[in-house]
Chain A
Amino acid sequence: MAFMIRGAAVVALALGLATAAHAQKPVTLLNVSYDPTRELYQDVNAAFTAKYKVDKGVAVTIRQSHGGSGKQARSVIDGLEADVVTLALAYDIDEIAQKARLFPADWQKRLPDNSAPYTSTIVFLVRKGNPKNIKDWDDIARPGLSVITPNPKTSGGARWNYLAAWGYAVKKFGGDQAKAREFVARIYKNVPVLDSGARGSTTTFVERGIGDVLLAWENEALLAVKELGPDKFQIVVPSVSILAEPPVTVVDKVAKKRGTLEVAQAYLQFLYSDEGQELAAKHYYRPRNKAVATKYAATFPRINLFTIDEMFGGWTRAQATHFADGGVFDQIYENR
Chain B
Amino acid sequence: MTDIDKAMLAAVARALHRLRFGSLEIVVHEGRIVQTHFTLGTDRTTGGPRFRGEKSMVTIRRKTGLVLVWALNAVVAAPQLLAQQDSAAAATQQRLDDLDQQVKILSRRWELYQDSVINAAKSRPSVSAGATGFQLKSAEGNFVLKLRGYLQADSRVYFSDDAQVLTNDLLLRRVRPILEGTVYRYYDFRIMPDFAGSAPTIFDAYFEARFEPEFAVRAGKYKPALGLERYQSATDVKFIERGLPTNLVPSRDVGLQIAGDLAGGVLNYNAALFDGVPDLASGLNDVADGKDLVGRLFIVPFAKQAENPPVDLGFGIAASTGNELGNTTTTALASYRSPGQATVFRYLTSSTAPVTGTVIADGRRERIIPQAYLNKGPLGLLAEYTISRQEVARDTGVTRTTEKLEHKAWQVEGSFFLTGERNSFRSITPKKQFDPFAGGWGAFELTGRYGELDFDDDAFPIYASPTASVTKEKAWAIGLNWHLGRNVKVMVNYEQTRFAGGATSGDRPDEKFFATRFQTSF
Contacts and interface: CB of A to CB of B under 8 A. Distances in A.
Interface string A99-113: 000000000000000
A78 B141 contact: yes
Interface in A291-307: none
A209 B264 contact: no
A216 B445 CA distance: 64
Given A10-B315, A196-B115, A208 B108 contact: yes
B266 A18 contact: yes
B370 A15 contact: no
A117 B287 CA distance: 66
B101 to A, nearest CB: 7
Contacts of B264: 22, 259
Contact of A79 (B112, B185, B213, B267): B185
Nearest to A19: B263
A56 interface: no
Contact of B301 (A18, A193, A194, A209): A18
A14 interface: yes
Contacts of B315: 10, 14
B115 A15 contact: no
A290 interface: no
B124 interface: no
B263 A193 contact: no
B297 interface: yes
Given A21-B304, A22-B304, A204 B108 contact: yes
Contacts of B304: 18, 21-22, 25
Contacts of B101: 146, 192, 210
A115 to B, nearest CB: 25
Interface string A6-21: 0100110011011101
A92 interface: no
Contacts of A200: 112
A7 B301 contact: no
Contact of A210 (B105, B141, B297): B105
A83 interface: no
Contacts of A21: 301-302, 304-305
A208 B214 CA distance: 50
Centre residue among B101, B115, B185, B213 by max chain A CB count within 10 A: B101
B109 to A, nearest CB: 6
B169 interface: no
Contacts of A208: 104, 107-108
B283 to A, nearest CB: 28
Contacts of A22: 263-264, 266, 304
By size class, the interface of chain B is 20 to 34
B383 interface: no
B267 A15 contact: yes
B109 A193 contact: yes
A45 B240 CA distance: 53
Contact of B266 (A10, A15, A79, A210): A15
Contacts of B214: 257
B370 A7 contact: yes
Interface in A201-237: 204, 208-210
Interface in A257-304: 257, 259
Contacts of B109: 193
Given A78-B141, A79-B141, A17 B112 contact: no
A79 B139 CA distance: 11
Nearest to A256: B212
Nearest to B212: A257
B396 interface: no
B142 A79 contact: yes
Interface in A172-195: 192-195
B299 interface: yes
B358 to A, nearest CB: 34
B435 interface: no
B140 interface: yes
B317 interface: yes
A17 B112 CA distance: 53
B104 A7 contact: no
Interface string B98-123: 00010011011100100100000000
Interface string B237-270: 0000000000000000000000000011011000
By size class, the interface of chain A is 20 to 34
B212 A17 contact: no
A209 B97 CA distance: 11
A78 B112 CA distance: 23
Interface in A7-61: 7, 10-11, 14-15, 17-19, 21-22, 25
Given A21-B304, A78-B140, A15 B263 contact: yes
Contacts of A79: 140-142, 185
A10 B297 CA distance: 12
Interface in B381-413: none
Contacts of A257: 212-214
A19 B303 CA distance: 11
Contacts of B267: 15, 18
A210 B108 contact: yes
Nearest to A259: B264
Nearest to B115: A196
A14 B299 contact: yes
A148 B299 CA distance: 58
Nearest to A210: B104
Contact of A192 (B105, B115, B266): B105
Nearest to B140: A78
Contacts of A210: 101, 104-105, 108
B118 to A, nearest CB: 12
Nearest to A79: B141
A218 to B, nearest CB: 24
Contacts of B105: 192-193, 210
Contacts of B107: 208
B297 A11 contact: yes
Contacts of A192: 101, 105
Contacts of A17: 301
Contacts of A193: 105, 108-109, 112
A295 B304 CA distance: 46
Interface string B338-357: 00000000000000000000
B299 A15 contact: yes
Interface string B190-234: 000000000000000000000011100000000000000000000
Interface string A51-77: 000000000000000000000000000
Nearest to A193: B108
A253 B243 CA distance: 43
Contacts of A7: 317, 370
Contacts of A10: 315
B231 to A, nearest CB: 18
A7 B370 CA distance: 9
Given A11-B297, A193-B105, A210-B108, 7 more contacts: A14-B266, A25-B304, A79-B140, A79-B141, A210-B101, A210-B105, A257-B212
26 contacts: A7-B317, A7-B370, A11-B297, A14-B301, A14-B315, A15-B263, A15-B266, A18-B266, A18-B301, A18-B303, A19-B263, A21-B304, A22-B266, A22-B304, A25-B304, A78-B140, A78-B141, A79-B140, A192-B105, A196-B112, A196-B115, A208-B107, A210-B104, A210-B105, A210-B108, A257-B213
Interface of A: 3, 7, 10-11, 14-15, 17-19, 21-22, 25, 78-79, 146, 192-196, 200, 204, 208-210, 257, 259
Interface of B: 101, 104-105, 107-109, 112, 115, 140-142, 185, 212-214, 263-264, 266-267, 297, 299, 301-305, 315-317, 370
